[in-house]
Amino acid sequence: MKKVLLGLSLLSSALFAQELTRTELVKLSIVNSPDINITTNAYKAAESRTDAATADYLPQVNIGATVGTQGFAFADNTMGLGSDSGALANANINASQLIYDFGKTGGNIDSFSYEANASNQQLSQSISDKILEVEEAYYQVLQANTLIKVNEENVKLNESQVIRSQRYFTAGIRTKIDVTDAEVKLIQAQLDLQNAHYDSRLALVNLQLIVGLMTANHEFKVHRPELNLETNTLYNSLPKNENTVFDYEKVAFENRSSLKSFTATISAKEERRRNIDADYLPQISANAAYTYQKIEGSTFQPEQQYNATLNLNWNVFSGLQTNALSQEATMNVLQARAESMQEKLRIKLQVDQSFIYVLKNRDSVKLTENLSIAAKEKFNQAQQRYEQGLSDFIELQEARQGYITALSNLVISYYDYFISISTLQHATGENISILQ
């Protein structure tokens, strides 16, 4: 994961200067998003704790020095020693080395190592969550941009209707109310178009926020592939899904970083419990010390001292503290296992729901596309009936509005399908492969 993050940071400046695709937006978000940086720093801190625990295996060396004066006096001067004082110089070095503690230190290191692994998996899950956020926001930008085109079409149709109604009124074929109705509908269509432009800008701002960029909006360029609504081939162009929901569940249980994080957390808590249980056993260590001292005027203070010892420390009774801590550690292990099972059930629910939404949105694209075809045909027929005097303006406007509504629903269904695909890939943990 660290190599991936490093590579993305090198790409960020180059990507920003161009029109950004979905993949490039994802890569930029991993580098720029504060929430990813927070999780990354938490992982680095966990790694440092592992390094600190490893230091218990290494020898501990301390060096000290003292410079000053020292004086002494005897209450009984029968020996003729009296009192004296003089300069003092002292230097010492102490070293200790753990020899064996029945796995306590090793268990402590393993516990921190598992915690670092859990933190790393949490980082991966945060990245997966961020990818889903970016993709959802990106498709919402495309959806809003395409809805502008639908509303532009609506304005054109209403402009044509205003011209047609005025011509018919001038010719005495239609009444003034048709002209007024057409003008009202045109203003409403223009208002809808204006709102569509604002919705597009809001979607772009939301995407920019999720990516983590602070640039002005006009500098934030997004690649927006054209969507042709006239070809009636959107449903056939959708990526097909051949896997079953059970296939996706299996992949999710193998890939999801959140589940791997719980697995590592369980191992860390088990090691922590073994580490506490090791307090029941002794600890063997070696110590060595060397001291050199020089006291001016002293004839009975040794100039050099040294010692080397082998120590056995055994806390035979600690007021039942070790027993209480061991029971707490056992409960923590059981809690972590229960949380892991809960996470597995939550992942299953996410996969099942996402899979159903993929099927639902795919069928929705098919039906809304068929509906838009039928609505357009109905609108064309309504225009002919209106021109021939066989229907009124209300019927024509209803047909036109039905056609525009069907087109809007088709656009929404189309991009909702891609959002549901992204959601399913997030649920299975596969969306992180976009960074490779």
pLDDT of residue 155: 95
For residue 251, the tally of other CB atoms under 10 A from its CB is 17
Residue 210 near residue 137 (C-beta atoms within 8 A): yes
Q: Give the pLDDT score at 129.
A: 93
CA 164 to chain centre: 55
d(C-alpha 287, C-alpha 316), whole Å: 22
Task: Quote the pLDDT of residue 343.
Answer: 95
Amino acid identity, residue 269?
K
- Please tell me the predicted confidence (pLDDT) of residue 14: 47
Phi, psi of 232 (to 5 degrees): 60, 40
Torsion, CA 372, CA 374, CA 375, CA 378, rounded to 10: 160
- 3 state SS of 60: strand
H/E stretch holding 407: helix 393-428
pLDDT for residue 371: 95
Q: How far is CA 191 from CA 161, 186, 233, 402, in A?
A: 17, 9, 30, 18
Say what the pLDDT of residue 79 is: 53
Cα 153 to chain center, whole Å?
Answer: 39
Residue 10: the pLDDT is 45
CA distance 399 to 378: 6
pLDDT for 321: 77
pLDDT tens for residues 322-379?
788 888 889 999 999 999 999 999 999 999 999 999 999 999 999 999 999 999 999 9
Name all domains of the chain by residue range, CATH numbers in brackets. Answer: 2-58+101-281+320-435 (1.20.1600.10)
Measured CA to CA, the distance from residue 185 to residue 163 in angstroms comes to 13
Closest to 53 measured CA to CA, from 105, 124, 123: 105
267-277 burial, b for 16+ CB within 10 Å, e for fewer? bbbbbbbbbbb
**Could you tell me the mean pLDDT of each successive run of 10 residues in the chain, 436 residues long?**
50 59 90 85 84 78 81 58 66 82 78 88 92 96 96 93 86 83 92 96 92 69 85 87 92 94 92 82 81 68 77 72 85 93 96 96 95 93 82 84 94 96 95 84
pLDDT digits (tens, 9 = 90+) for 48-101: 888 777 777 778 888 888 887 766 665 665 555 556 566 777 788 888 877 777
Of 220, 83, 204, whose CA–CA distance to 139 is shortest? Answer: 204
| Angstrom distances, CA of residue 318 to CA of 104, 255, 279, 283 | 17, 44, 10, 15
Instruction: Provide the residue type at 422 as one letter.
Output: S
User: What confidence score (pLDDT) does residue 255 get?
Assistant: 93
Q: Determine if residue 53 is left, alpha or beta; phi over 0 gives left, psi from -120 to 50 gives alpha, anything else beta.
A: alpha
CA 336 centroid distance within chain: 21
In whole angstroms, give the CA distance from residue 272 to residue 266.
10
